[in-house]
Amino acid sequence: MTAKHHAKNLSAQELGRRQFLTWAAAGCVYAGAPSMANAAKLLYPLNASKIAEKTWAVYGLPEYFTQENGGHIVNVAFIDAGDGVVVVDTGTSKRFGEALLALIQATIPNKPIIRVYNTHHHPDHVFGNQVFDASTIAATPQIIAALSRDGVAFADNLYRLLGDWMRGTEHVLPTVALESDSESIGDRTFSFTSLSGHTESDLIIRDDSTGVLFGGDLAFLSRAPTTPSANLPEWHDALDALEKMDRSVILPGHGPLDTTGESITQTRGYLTWLEASLRESVDAGLTMNEAMSVDIPEEFNNLYVVRTEFERSVVHLYRQFEDEILQEVEVTR
C-alpha cells in the first residue's frame, strides 16, 4: 500500500490527531506563562466599534495565540435585529464568549440573542459557542461536520497553547444547518454564500439592510493569512467570488474594517506569492527548513506575524507541493 493510499484510509479521529500534530509542529503549541497583568484575572478587554447602523465589530489583536493575549485575535460582530441580537462568530474560549455576551448586553440592553452564525470551524471563531443557546447557533452542514470531526483536537491544541484562558471550554456544535441562501431574523435579512478555500466550508454573510459583508477568514487585512486547512486554488476562486459581491464594507476575520476591497487584493497577492515561493523551493530541492528561510517580499513584510505564518504555511503545505511536483520513484531492493 502506498503512503497516499494509506492516508485516504485513515479514520477521521486519526486525521484529526495528525492535523493537531501538524499545528503543533508549526509552532502552535506553546507552554509559556501568562503575563503578570493578565495572570490574576484573565480578563478579555473587549470593546464594541460601530461599523454600520445597529452593527458593531469587536476587533481582535493582530497577533498569534499567546498566553498574554488569551487568544483574543479574531474579529466578531453583533447586530441589533429589532426582536433580538444576531452574533457573527463567538471567539476562542468560554471565557471569551462570556465577555462577548456581557459586552452585547451592555451595548444592546434587554434583548435576547436570537441567532449566532459560525463562519467556519476554526477554534478562534467558534469556541465561545457554549455561552449561547445551542438552538440559535447556525452554520453550513459542512462546517458542523468539520467541527464535529476536529473539535476535540482543536480543544487539545488551545488548552496547551492558552492554558487557564481555556478553563471550562468545550466545543459546541451549531444545531441549525443552513440549507437556503438567506434568512430573515428580526427586522434583518441575511444572505449566505457558501465558499471554500481557507477551510472546506467558509460561510460569507451579508446583512442586506446595511450591505456589510462578514468575510470570515477568506479575507485578511494587515495580517498574514493562516493556512492549516487551506486549499489554495479554491481560496483564489473564493476571493474572485467575494470581489464580485455587492457590499458596503467587508469585516475580515482578522484585521481592520475594509472599505475599499483591500483585504481581497492583499490576501490574493499574499497567497499568490506563497504558492510561487513553495513551488520554487521544491523545484530547487530545498528542505522545509531552508524553504522557511527565504526572503519575504517588501510588500508583505509589514503584515503582522508574517514570518510566523509563513513558516507555519511551509509545514502545512510543503509536502502537498512535493507530491505534486516531484516524481514518485519506485525503489526495489
Q: How many Cβ atoms are within 10 Å of 176's Cβ, its own excluded?
A: 17
Average pLDDT by stretches of 10, the chain with 333 residues: 37 42 41 42 94 98 95 98 98 98 98 98 98 98 98 96 96 97 98 98 98 98 98 98 98 98 98 98 96 97 98 96 85 78
Per the CATH hierarchy, to which homologous superfamily does domain 15-259 belong? Ribonuclease Z/Hydroxyacylglutathione hydrolase-like (3.60.15.10)
Q: Where do the domains of the chain lie?
A: 15-259
Strands in 134-211 per DSSP E:
137-139, 176-177, 182-185, 188-195, 202-207
Whether 151 and 103 have beta carbons less than 8 Å apart is answered as no
Element (H, E) at 113: strand 113-117
Q: Give the separation between CA 88 and CA 137, rounded to whole angstroms.
A: 10
Q: Give the separation between CA 10 and CA 22, rounded to whole angstroms.
A: 15
Instruction: Look at the block and give the residue holding cell 447602523.
Output: 53
- Res 331: pLDDT: 78
Output the nine-digit C-alpha cell for 188.
Answer: 434583518
- Res 41: pLDDT: 78
Q: Give the separation between CA 239 and CA 137, rounded to whole angstroms.
A: 26
